Structure 1
Amino acid sequence: MNFIKYNLIGLINTLIHWSIYFYSLYELNFSSTISNVIGFLFAATGSYIFNSKFNYNQEINTIRYIKFLFIMSILAYTIALIFQSQELSHFIMLITYTLTSVILGFFLTKYWVFKK
């Protein structure tokens, strides 16, 4: 059940991430890497709060929040950097990040961030 809740929360946060990403990229003229990290930070904060409360039934905690941001930031930054260095599609980069964070992010958060 955690995986389903994780993905429902992730769907909302993906919309937030992508909206901020494209706004930062095309309206603010930031690089793909920076746009991805900014979009991610907004979405990840919401994701952490909702997963804490509704998925893992745990109180919001600074250490867990930092661990969550660390894991998800490394994923977001690494994927964006690879795609930017190869001049690949921004849209494909977002899809790749989304799929990676669904699988890797779930297991890393379940077994490290929210481990009881």
Structure 2
Amino acid sequence: MLKLFAKYTSIGVLNTLIHWVVFGVCIYAAHTNQAMANFAGFIVAVSFSFFANAKFTFKASTTTMRYLLYVGFMGTLSVVVGWAADRCSLPPIVTLVTFSAISLVCGFVYSKFIVFRDAK
């Protein structure tokens, strides 16, 4: 399981970079709130994460149901973290770091035991 988590983390680094860039553009160029910026960053990065993890981490086929399960869970997590950040007036960097940490751990557990549970 540790090797699997290491693969998931490697893809997560690229996913995080994508997410952070989009988040920054939304906050500093488009002047959106953090919930919207976090969700936009998520939307752009989530497809990469899903397909890369299906292929390289879990060696599983991609199905519409798996995609919807993954996107639904991670999207909800993204909005909740962004909403909480706005309510607490957290600086954007704190929101990014918090979401990155939470989504890495929760995303791995959810992917392994729910989304790709039947993968060989």
Q: TM-score, normalised by structure 1?
A: 0.97
**Equivalent residue for 1:27?**
29
**Equivalent residue for 1:100?**
102
**Separation in 2, partners of 1:25, 1:88:** 13
Letter in 2 for 1:96: T
Which aligned pairs between 1:57-72 and structure 2 lie closer than 5 A?
A: 57-72=59-74
**Separation in 2, partners of 1:15, 1:46:** 11
Which aligned pairs between 1:80-91 and structure 2 lie closer than 5 A?
A: 80-91=82-93
Post-superposition offset of 1:30: 1.3
Post-superposition offset of 1:2: 1.0
SS in 1 for 2:104: helix
Gaps of 5+ in 1: none
Q: Percent identity?
A: 29
Post-superposition offset of 1:84: 0.5
**Equivalent residue for 2:78?**
76
C-alpha RMSD of the superposition = 0.7
SS in 1 for 2:61: coil
Post-superposition offset of 1:89: 1.1
**Equivalent residue for 1:13?**
15
Letter in 1 for 2:42: F
Post-superposition offset of 1:18: 0.2
**Equivalent residue for 1:54?**
56
**Separation in 2, partners of 1:59, 1:108:** 16
Post-superposition offset of 1:60: 1.6
Q: TM-score, normalised by structure 2?
A: 0.94
